[in-house]
Amino acid sequence: MPIIQHLVVEHFGRHVGKHQGRLQVTEIKTDETVIEAPLLHLEDVVIASRGVSISADAIAACTEQGIPIHFLDGHGVPFAALYSAGLTGTVLTRRAQLQAFNDGRGRAAAAAFCIGKLRNQASLLRYMAKYRKETAPEVYEELRRLVAEVTDHVSEIERLGGATVDEVRFELLSAEGRGAQRYWEGIRLLLKEDYDWPGRRTQGATDPINACLNYGYGILYGQVERAIVLAGLDPYAGFLHVDRSGKPSLVLDLIEEFRTAVVDRAMLGLVNKGSALVLDEKGKLDPPTRKLIAEKVLERLDAPVRYQGKQNTLRSALQSQARHLAVFLRGDRPAYQPFVANW
C-alpha cells in the first residue's frame, strides 16, 4: 500500500470512511474501494467536491490524530475546515495577536506580508528571465524592467511611516497591487505563445489558467490555515486584510508570502509543458485537472528550499513562518521577516 500523506477526494459520489486504522474512499454506487490511506502517515484531508460524504468515525479519527480536514468547492474556494478542538486553546498567543492590531507590531506584520509577496514575485520573474537571455533577448529585457518596477514598490513600502496598520493599509495595498500588475505582465510574457491569456482574474475566471491558479490557491489556503492554527494563532484576526465576519484574514495575510513559490511556479510549469487543463460545461475544472493541480501544489510544498541558511522544504518554511509570527506578536522576537524564496 503506497504511503499517502495528503488525501485529496475530488470526485462526486464518493464516501470517506474509517476502516482498521486507515481512511477508506469508496465509490458510493458500486461500494468499490478507490483509495486507502493509513492514518499513521496522513497529514491532511482535502474534500474537493460538494458531492463527497465523510463519516463521523473518519472525522473523529482525524481529529484524534491531529489531521485537519479541509473542504473546497468546485472552484477551489475553501468553505470549511475541521480541527481538533485542543488546537484552538492557545489563549496567550491569541490575546497578544489581538492587542498587536493596535500598535506597531500589526503594522510591521502587514508591511512584511506585502514585501514578502513582492520580493517573491520579482524573484520568480528574475529566475525565469535568465532562461530567455539568449533565446528571446527582447523578452529578457522586458522581464528585467518589470523586476525593477516590482522591486521599486518594495522600496515604497519600506519608506512608509504610520504607527498602526489602519494608518497605512491603503498605501500598503496600493503599492502591493501596482507591483502585482507588473508581475502578471511578466507572467504573460512567460506563457507559451498559443495561450491567449486575458490577464489575472480572481472570482468568476472562465479561462483554464486563472481557474487553475484560483484552485491552486485554494489548496495552499488549507495548508496556511493549518500552519496558523498549529502556531496557536487565530486565522480570523489578520492585519493587512480587513476584518469581516467569516473571513480568515490572517490566512489571507500569510498566504501572500507563499503564493508565488508554491502555486505560481507549479502552474507555470504545467502550462508551458502543455498539460491538459480542462473546464467542464459549468466552467469548473474537471476532476482529473483538479487532481493534477492538487498533486502539483502539494509536491511544491515538499520541494527543497534554502531557508534560514539550511536546506528545508517549503512546507516546513511555512510552519516556521507561522511560529515566527506568533513569537513576534507575543513580543519575544524583535522583528518578523517575510519568507523570500531563492532560486
pLDDT (tens digit, 9 = 90+) per residue, 181-199?
Answer: 999 999 999 987 667 788 8
Architecture of domain 6-67: Ribosomal Protein L15; Chain: K; domain 2 (3.100)
> How much is the pLDDT for 283?
79
Regions of the chain short of the pLDDT cut 50: none
> How much is the pLDDT for 90?
67
How many whole angstroms separate alpha carbon 117 and alpha carbon 131? Answer: 22
DSSP 8-class letter at 285: B
> How much is the pLDDT for 111?
97
pLDDT digits (tens, 9 = 90+) for 290-315: 989 999 999 999 999 999 889 999 99
Q: If you search the block for the grid coordinates 529585457, which residue do you land on? A: 141
In the chain, where the domains are located: 6-67, 91-329
Length, in residues, of the chain: 343
φ, ψ of residue 341 in degrees (nearest 5): -75, 145
Which residues, at least 6 apart from 53, have a Cβ–Cβ distance to it below 8 Å? 14, 15, 16, 28
> How much is the pLDDT for 245?
74
> How much is the pLDDT for 281?
83
- Which ranges of the chain would DSSP assign to H, the alpha helix? 56-64, 91-100, 104-129, 137-158, 165-190, 208-230, 249-254, 265-272, 287-301, 314-329
> How much is the pLDDT for 279?
86
Task: Give the helix, strand, coil percentages of the chain, each rounded to 5.
Answer: 50, 15, 35
CB 195 within 8 A of CB 271: yes
> How much is the pLDDT for 87?
59
Q: Cβ-count burial of 9 within 10 angstroms (0-12 exposed, 13-18 middle, 19+ buried)?
A: buried
> How much is the pLDDT for 300?
94
| CA distances in angstroms from 212 to 69, 182, 341, listed in the order given | 21, 20, 22
Q: Topology of 91-329 in CATH? A: Four Helix Bundle (Hemerythrin (Met), subunit A) (1.20.120)
Which residues, at least 6 apart from 325, have a Cβ–Cβ distance to it below 8 Å? 109, 231, 233, 254, 336
pTM of the model: 0.85
Partners of 8 in beta bridges:
46
Q: Is 70 in a helix, a strand, or coil?
A: strand
Q: Which of 129, 103, 145 is nearest to 268 (CA)?
A: 129
Residue 144 in grid coordinates = 528585467
> How much is the pLDDT for 327?
94
> How much is the pLDDT for 72?
86
Residue 39 in grid coordinates = 492514518
Q: Please determine whether the domains at 6-67 and 91-329 fall in the same fold group of CATH.
A: no
How many whole angstroms separate alpha carbon 69 and alpha carbon 226? Answer: 10
Q: If you search the block for the grid coordinates 464516501, which residue do you land on? A: 15
